[in-house]
Each structure stands twice: as structure tokens, then as C-alpha cells.
């Protein structure tokens, strides 16, 4: 879905809701600290490494920086799901994969 099909208000509501859900889901995991401030979700590991997931209002995307990579997720179905513009990967699946690699164990998140 093109981001042109979602209004700024709809984007803000959907992105904020998604980041809050991610914060809750990640807050239960051992080995990380999670902080959500003003649309920026920071995940910090015991070794000091930080991954960042944030709402980018100008682009109407959710961006993630982790493992020396960056993803830009576009909203689909009015923000019910988010998919990477580059390869179509889904946000929650991508977060699970990068966290599983970093923590050395399988992580399962439910939106």
C-alpha cells in the first residue's frame, strides 16, 4: 500500500499504537531494556548495543536500525501491518529475527 492512502492522523495513530504494542511485547524479554519516548523505541542489550525503532512522520513509515542495517516499513491495511519497502518483510517478523540473532535464542512476539 502506498503511504499516500493513509492520512497523517491515521498514520500517527497506527504508528503510535504499533510502537506501544512492541514496547509491551519486548518489555517481557530477559536480557534487554526497552524505552519508548516521543515515537522512538530504544532496545538496549546488556553489552550496550542499541537497536532503534521509530515513527518517521515525514515519510509516514516506521524505521528500524539494527545490526548495522536499516529498514523502512510502510503501513498496510490502514496501519494494521507494516512491511519493508525494500523486500516486503513484515515488521514484527523482522524484529523477532534480529532479536533472536542478537540474544542467541528464539524470540516469539505477538502483536
Reply yes or no on whether the pLDDT at 1 is more than 70: no
Q: What does the pLDDT look like over 85-104, one tens digit per residue?
A: 999 999 999 999 999 999 99
Name the domain count of the chain: 1
Q: Is 85 inside any structural domain? A: yes
Q: What does the pLDDT look like over 40-88, one tens digit per residue?
A: 999 999 999 999 999 999 999 999 999 999 999 999 988 899 999 999 9
Q: Is 88 inside any structural domain? A: yes
Q: Is 37 inside any structural domain? A: yes
pLDDT attached to residue 6: 82
Contacts of 98 by beta carbon, 8 Å cutoff, 6+ apart: 51, 64, 66, 67
Q: Is 108 inside any structural domain? A: no
Name the 3-class secondary structure at 65: strand
Q: Which set of grid coordinates corresponds to residue 13?
A: 495513530
Q: Is 110 inside any structural domain? A: no
Q: What is the pTM of this model?
A: 0.91
Looking at the DSSP bridge assignments, the partners of residue 83 are 74, 90
Q: Is 111 inside any structural domain? A: no
Residue 45, domain extent: 3-103
Looking at the DSSP bridge assignments, the partners of residue 54 are 40, 63
For residue 45, the domain's CATH number is 3.30.920.10
Amino acid at each position: 500500500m502506498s503511504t499516500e492512502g493513509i492520512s497523517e492522523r491515521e498514520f500517527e495513530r497506527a504508528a503510535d499504537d504499533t510502537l506501544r504494542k512492541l514496547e509491551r511485547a519486548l518489555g517481557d524479554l530477559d536480557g534487554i531494556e526497552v524505552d519508548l519516548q516521543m515515537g522512538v523505541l530504544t532496545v538496549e542489550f546488556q553489552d550496550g548495543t542499541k537497536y532503534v525503532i521509530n515513527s518517521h512522520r515525514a515519510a509516514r513509515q516506521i524505521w528500524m536500525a539494527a545490526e548495522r542495517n536499516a529498514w523502512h516499513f510502510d503501513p498496510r491495511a490502514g496501519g494494521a501491518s507494516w512491511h519493508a519497502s525494500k523486500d516486503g518483510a513484515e515488521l514484527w517478523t523482522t524484529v523477532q529475527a534480529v532479536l533472536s540473532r542478537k540474544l542467541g535464542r528464539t524470540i516469539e512476539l505477538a502483536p
